[in-house]
Structure 1
Amino acid sequence: MFVETLAPRFCETDALGHINNTVVPVWFEAGREPIFQLFTPDMDVNNWKLIIARISVDFLAEIHYGTGRDVEIRTGLAKIGNSSMTIRQEVWQEGQCCARGDAVMIHFDHSAKQSRPIPDTIRAELEKHLLDVEKAE
């Protein structure tokens, strides 16, 4: 599992004083960076090898702004297919899972405009982060 710690910013709050629901997908994208680096180590967007096919987010509890209220973005793999993967992510704050989401990403050849099988070397690295999804739900 990959773990990223972020400090919620004041500008990410909404009128109710909670972290706005549009912020969580942005945090999830930041949490996927280690996966991006497996496919594109130099992070050169001109050589990008992934596209996003689907995202979903379940909001489970309020997320708050404030000193000492960092969030932890936990990222793992729920499923690895031939050319796609389902990335499972969670936002934790103060010992509570506040949001959970999935992103389906596809290994993609932009010049050919088609998916490509995930290379074995990258697959082996991804498999190190496979989650027991049934146990987690």
Structure 2
Amino acid sequence: MLPLQMRFNDFDMLGHLNNAVYIQFFDLGKSSYFQDVLPQAVDWKHINIVVVNINCDYYAPTYIHESVAVVTTVTRMGEKSFSLEQRIVNTATGEVKCVARTVMAGIDLTTGKSAPIAEEWIEALQRYERRAL
């Protein structure tokens, strides 16, 4: 769980967290999650996985006075892709504000074409999640 810092300019005229900011929060969550999964091996200039799809369901508005965090987990592992589920939650009440489902795919950085997920990633994700994926 990654606590999130909200800024005044993250909010719209209705006082709600702007929908585009949730995507930025999910990116922060992914970065933190991957750093936790592979603390010695994440080379951000040469990372060989990319986002290929993201879908968000918004359940409740988030207001500036709330404390929120992003929770990230892997829900599916394939040969060339895997899926993440991320939730923005109110840390005081546990209320789910938004859920994103993201598909990430392996990429060959020299050709730009799809590639299998590196075994190192699969093993590290399974170890971190404490379950077979």
- TM tier, smaller: 0.7 to 0.9
Alignment check: 8 A CA contact 1:76 1:89 kept: yes
SS of equivalent residue, structure 1 residue 32: helix
**Secondary structure, aligned partner of 2:56:** strand
Which residue is equivalent to 1:134? none
SS across alignment from 1:11? helix
Q: Which residue of structure 1 aligns with residue 108 of structure 2?
A: 109
Task: Describe the superposition over 1:53-86 as per-residue Cα deviations: whole angstroms up to 9, x where unpaired.
Answer: 10000000111112xx221100000101001011
**Given that residues 36 and 43 in structure 1 are in contact (C-alpha distance below 8 angstroms), is that contact kept between their aligned partners in structure 2?**
no
1:91-120 CA deviation, whole Å, 9 max, x = no partner?
001320010011111111121222222222
- What is the total number of aligned residue pairs between the two structures? 126
User: 1: CA distance between counterparts of 2:78 and 2:29?
Assistant: 20
Provide the alpha-carbon RMSD of the alignment: 2.1
| Cα pair distance change 1:130/1:32, threshold 3 Å | farther
* Segments ≥4 residues shifted beyond 6 Å: none
SS at match of 1:74: strand
5+ unaligned residues in a row in structure 2: which ranges?
none
Whole-angstrom distance in 2 between the partners of 1:11 and 1:26: 13
Q: Give 2:95's aligned residue.
A: 96
Alpha-carbon distance, 1:36 to partner: 4.2
Q: SS where residue 98 of structure 2 aligns?
A: strand
Tell me the percent identity: 25
Q: Is the 8 A contact 2:81 2:106 kept in 1?
A: yes
Contact 1:79 1:130 in 2 (8 A): no
User: Counterpart of 2:121 in structure 1: which amino acid?
Assistant: I
Aligned-residue offset at 1:4: 0.6
Q: Which amino acid aligns with 1:97?
A: V
2:20 alignment partner in structure 1: 22
Which consecutive unaligned segments of at least 5 residues does structure 1 have? 132-137
